[in-house]
Structure 1
Amino acid sequence: MDLDAYVAEHEREWRRLDQLCQHRRLGADEADELVALYQRTATHLSVVRSRSPDPALAARLSRLVLTAQGRLTGRPGFSWRAVGRFFGTTFPLAVYRAWPWWCAVAVGFGAVAGFFIWWIAGHPESAAAFIGEEAAAELVDSGFAGYYTEHDAPSFAFQLWTNNAWVAARCLASGILIVPVFYLLWQNALNLGVIGGVLFSYDRAGLFFSMITPHGLLELTGIFVAAGVGLRIGWAWIAPPARLTRGQAVAEAGQTGILVALGLVGVFAVAGLIEAFVTPAEVPTAARVGVGLLAWLGFLGYVLVCGRRARPARSGATEPSGETPASPPPAGQS
């Protein structure tokens, strides 16, 4: 085939197709012309590749065909409807489907942290083995409460937000390996348990709960969700459902993980604002705890109501793998 002659014969069609792809709006006639030129150019590309594989021309025609294809199928753009669908259906449904996993994580985390609180409170001398006597005394005197007021509130909220989102992302990303998720949970359950045990041993349990509860309920629930979904990804690799290959099961669970990670950005933003502005506020403890409790119950209710409502609507959709289940910074120390 004479390549130069072929290019000269069809150059005007290619240029016209490129022009149509650049138009913001197309009339009915122009849309029909775009479809026809797209089909012809795709044929031209096939001919060039099979009869005269010129790399430069093949690359040019490939780009043109892909551009035209994107114009025909529609260019994705920002849509408030898509945002509403994500927060009204997609995200709560993903969290709701994974509830056995993150509830199991919450129970395990609470058991480990509770054990260390109980042990250190009953054996005050053991606190020295973890953080030292001077550090324990300083924590009780001013360190624990002072942590929430030593930084400017807006910058503190942003720091907490990004840190917790990063921890959640690590849980989700490392879920396929399983062990790193357990390590992160162990590390932070231990940290929370030691701090709580020290304060309990000095009869400051009220201080501990009054500072942890406002933001900790929502913050830790977000971490539990991330860890549970991350472990669910790992389980999809270990025991994929019969209808899917191992790779397909992991890909499906991983897609759910991405959706959850996006949604948790908002959850951690709210938790960060509560920790920075509400937790250290000079208002009655009942008011601070009430704000945190309302935010936590609001999130759980949102997941339960929207998730359950969305599930029947997608009853025909494929369920993510691993439906049944076999350290992030603790609240206040993130």
Structure 2
Amino acid sequence: MDVDAFRAVHEHEWSRLRRLVARRRLDGAEADELVVLYQRTATHLSALRSAQPEPVLLDELSTLLVRARARLTGSRYTAWRQLAHYATRGLPAALWRLRWWTTGAFAFTTVVAVAAGVWIAGNPEAQASVFGSNEDIRRLVQNDFANYYSEYSSAAFAGRVWTNNAWVAATCIALGIAGLPVLAALAFNAVNVGLQGGLLVDNGRAEVFFGLILPHGILELTAVFVAAGAGLRLFWAWVSPGPRSRSGSLATQGRAMFGVALGLVVVLFVSGVIEGFVTPSGLPTWARIGIGVLAELAFWAYCLLLGRPAAAAGETGDLEERYAGDALPTAA
């Protein structure tokens, strides 16, 4: 089929349908015309799908038909309703389904971080090779580690941390299809935290380390673990697709994990605000850590109270069927 010729022949009908859909009021004749044009356009879309896939035109006509159907049926399934549905059903269900992948990322990171901390603590040769001279170590332990959180203004620091962590999370998901880059990123971060933690604990500064890391780090690291779990789940989607084709399984999980990445932007915004305003504040250590714990509990309450029942009802975080496209039947 010549798509350009097909468009040239029927464009006037599609344009007329767009104008009718956009009108606030329709008289009887216009309403009848809307029904006729809706049916014709649906036929055009079916013909295009069966003859030659043209993603841009297919998407254009699908969107037009959705709007026309909403006008005909009187429904008002707006973008805001879609966003609310995803925030209360799709995203928490996707996060809940990732819980074991998230737990695995947490366990892997914990083992590597503790191993790095134990290795560096009480090992002067290792400390010198990693952190430099005794003067460098003293400056890091006494000043630099704590000063990092107050070097910039609270707002600027929060924004900087947020954008950086959001980029890291998105990268973990994007590179997850390869599997190993996610584990490498987790290991790198775990070693970095473990080495600094082991050094400060070994020098009697454990309260400083945990008092500055935990307020924002609990939620921030949870977001990183979720991103890593999402990336690994994407990797597994094509390694073990089940009854689906590899491309179909990857597409389904890819759409859901992209939604998770967008949700983590919000989570990391909250952790960035805590890191920028709470971590360097003059609040007592217990209060700063308590704020971090409350934020973490709120996140898991969101996953449990909304995600668990949504997942049980069949939500996956993927697009609704009418937007995800048609799927071929697959034998079990």
**Aligning the two structures, in what range does the TM-score lie when normalised by the shorter sequence?**
0.7 to 0.9
For residues 33-80 of structure 1, what are the alpha-carbon distances to aligned partners after superposition, in whole Å with 9 as ceiling and x for unaligned? 123245567889999xxxxxxxxxxxxx99997785354134998544
Q: 1:18 Cα shift?
A: 6.1
Helix, strand or coil for the counterpart of 1:147?
Answer: helix
Asked whether the equivalents of residues 120 and 199 of structure 2 are also in contact (C-alpha less than 8 Å), the reply is yes
Asked whether the equivalents of residues 259 and 317 of structure 2 are also in contact (C-alpha less than 8 Å), the reply is no
**Counterpart code for 1:168:** A
1:207 aligns with 2:203: no
For residues 248-268 of structure 1, what are the alpha-carbon distances to aligned partners after superposition, in whole Å with 9 as ceiling and x for unaligned? 111111122112111111110
Aligned equivalent of 1:249: 249
Q: Per the alignment, do residues 25 and 137 of structure 1 end up closer, same or farther by CA in structure 2, a change over 3 Å counting?
A: farther
**Matching of residues 96-111 of structure 1 within 5 Å:** 96-111=96-111
Helix, strand or coil for the counterpart of 1:174?
Answer: helix
Distance in 1, Cα, partners of 2:45 & 2:256: 38
Distance in 2, Cα, partners of 1:78 & 1:120: 56
Distance in 2, Cα, partners of 1:309 & 1:296: 20
CA RMSD between the two structures: 3.2
Asked whether the equivalents of residues 92 and 306 of structure 2 are also in contact (C-alpha less than 8 Å), the reply is yes
For residues 10-39 of structure 1, what are the alpha-carbon distances to aligned partners after superposition, in whole Å with 9 as ceiling and x for unaligned? 999787556435534434531221232455
Q: Per the alignment, do residues 68 and 169 of structure 1 end up closer, same or farther by CA in structure 2, a change over 3 Å counting?
A: closer
Q: TM-score with structure 1 length normalisation?
A: 0.79
**Matching of residues 106-125 of structure 1 within 5 Å:** 106-125=106-125
Which deviates further from its counterpart, 201-210 or 33-42?
Answer: 33-42
**Counterpart code for 2:65:** Q
For residues 225-265 of structure 1, what are the alpha-carbon distances to aligned partners after superposition, in whole Å with 9 as ceiling and x for unaligned? 00011001101111111x21111111111122112111111
**Any stretches of 5+ residues in structure 1 without a counterpart?**
1-9, 48-60, 321-334
Q: Per the alignment, do residues 42 and 264 of structure 1 end up closer, same or farther by CA in structure 2, a change over 3 Å counting?
A: closer
Distance in 1, Cα, partners of 2:94 & 2:58: 37
Asked whether the equivalents of residues 38 and 65 of structure 1 are also in contact (C-alpha less than 8 Å), the reply is no
Aligned equivalent of 1:149: 150
Q: Per the alignment, do residues 67 and 235 of structure 1 end up closer, same or farther by CA in structure 2, a change over 3 Å counting?
A: closer
Distance in 2, Cα, partners of 1:11 & 1:165: 42
Q: 1:81 Cα shift?
A: 3.4
1:274 aligns with 2:274: yes
Q: TM-score with structure 2 length normalisation?
A: 0.79
Q: 1:269 Cα shift?
A: 0.8
**Counterpart code for 1:212:** I
Which deviates further from its counterpart, 101-110 or 198-207?
Answer: 198-207
Q: Per the alignment, do residues 254 and 16 of structure 1 end up closer, same or farther by CA in structure 2, a change over 3 Å counting?
A: closer
Please point out which of 68, 72, 78 is paired with 1:72: 68
Which deviates further from its counterpart, 61-70 or 82-91?
Answer: 61-70
Aligned equivalent of 1:304: 304
Q: 1:131 Cα shift?
A: 2.5
1:216 aligns with 2:217: yes
Distance in 2, Cα, partners of 1:14 & 1:81: 26
Which deviates further from its counterpart, 29-38 or 290-299?
Answer: 29-38
Asked whether the equivalents of residues 127 and 198 of structure 1 are also in contact (C-alpha less than 8 Å), the reply is yes
**Counterpart code for 2:201:** F
Asked whether the equivalents of residues 141 and 203 of structure 2 are also in contact (C-alpha less than 8 Å), the reply is yes
For residues 109-135 of structure 1, what are the alpha-carbon distances to aligned partners after superposition, in whole Å with 9 as ceiling and x for unaligned? 011011111111121331121121243
Helix, strand or coil for the counterpart of 1:122?
Answer: coil
Aligned equivalent of 2:34: 34
Distance in 1, Cα, partners of 2:14 & 2:285: 71
**Counterpart code for 1:177:** A
Distance in 1, Cα, partners of 2:42 & 2:307: 44
1:260 aligns with 2:256: no
Q: Per the alignment, do residues 30 and 175 of structure 1 end up closer, same or farther by CA in structure 2, a change over 3 Å counting?
A: same
1:290 aligns with 2:290: yes
Distance in 2, Cα, partners of 1:64 & 1:171: 32
Distance in 1, Cα, partners of 2:85 & 2:63: 28
Asked whether the equivalents of residues 94 and 307 of structure 1 are also in contact (C-alpha less than 8 Å), the reply is yes
Count of equivalent residues? 295
**Any stretches of 5+ residues in structure 2 without a counterpart?**
1-9, 48-56, 319-332
1:172 aligns with 2:168: no
Work out the percentage of aligned pairs sharing the same amino acid: 47
Aligned equivalent of 1:95: 95
Distance in 2, Cα, partners of 1:89 & 1:205: 41
Helix, strand or coil for the counterpart of 1:203?
Answer: coil
**Counterpart code for 2:127:** A
Distance in 2, Cα, partners of 1:184 & 1:12: 53
